[in-house]
Amino acid sequence: MQKIVLASNNAGKLKEFQALLAPLNFQVITQGELGIPSAEEPHLTFVENALAKARHASSASGLPALADDSGICAHALDGKPGVFSARFAGEPANDGANNQKLVSDLNGQADRGAHYVCALVFVNSANDPEPLIVQTRWHGQIITEPKGSNGFGYDPHFYIPELNLTAAELDPAQKNLISHRGQALRELIVQLKSRA
């Protein structure tokens, strides 16, 4: 199995990536398991932050690295919280507080549309001149009352009209088929296979 370091310590993301990459013989380990601190995320775009995180993890580990930067963009809020999704309600990061702030900020807004974004970057080395970069969207709506207990982040408030379910009501396998991260990883896998 080929080891890849995941530039994240998010248990939810690790679980999703392990499930999606295991069939391809990749062993995903988190940067935290290797004692690598998190990278700075000073950029205003998902792609730039993901690239910075991937290069940082690869440099510190000497392994190929995979990083994603993802979040939710509410249409009525000009794309907020965007790259600040994990800490929308401030430090320390807290899913419940973030959801509460998003629902509160959308109070009275007619447009409840939102989309998850996932920018996924894979580098073979810290100085890889050809990083593989994928960015995808998953469209839905923000609902006021949370539903479901699966997933993480904004999933209990992210409603998918065509399924009549929130992301938190989907079982993990179903979510991996349609989510922003699942879409991005499948596109990345196509690129990895064509590069080999």
**How confident is the prediction along the chain (196 residues), in pLDDT tens digits per residue?**
889 999 988 777 788 788 878 888 889 999 999 999 999 889 999 999 999 999 999 999 999 999 999 999 999 999 999 999 999 999 988 999 999 999 999 999 999 999 999 999 999 999 999 999 999 999 999 999 999 999 889 999 999 999 999 999 999 889 988 999 889 999 998 888 787 6
CA distance 74 to 191: 30
How do beta strands 158-160 and 165-166 pair? antiparallel
Q: What confidence score (pLDDT) does residue 172 get?
A: 87
Q: List the catalytic residue out of 69, 95, 105, 171.
A: 69
User: Is 194 exposed, middle or buried (CB count within 10 Å of its CB: 0-12, 13-18, 19+)?
Assistant: exposed
CATH code given to domain 2-195: 3.90.950.10
Strand-pairing partners, residue 81, are 73
Candidates 136, 137, 116, 105; CA nearest to 72 is: 116
* 69 included as an active-site residue: yes
**Residues 188, 184, 13, 54: is their CA dihedral positive or negative?**
positive
What pLDDT, on a 0 to 100 scale, did the predictor assign at position 24?
Answer: 81
pLDDT score recorded for residue 196 = 61
> What is the pLDDT at residue 12?
76
**Tokens 């398991």 found at:** 33
- The residue count of the chain comes to 196
Alpha carbon 147 to chain centroid distance? 20
Give Cβ neighbours of residue 33 (< 8 Å, ≥ 6 apart): none
Residue spans per domain, the chain:
2-195
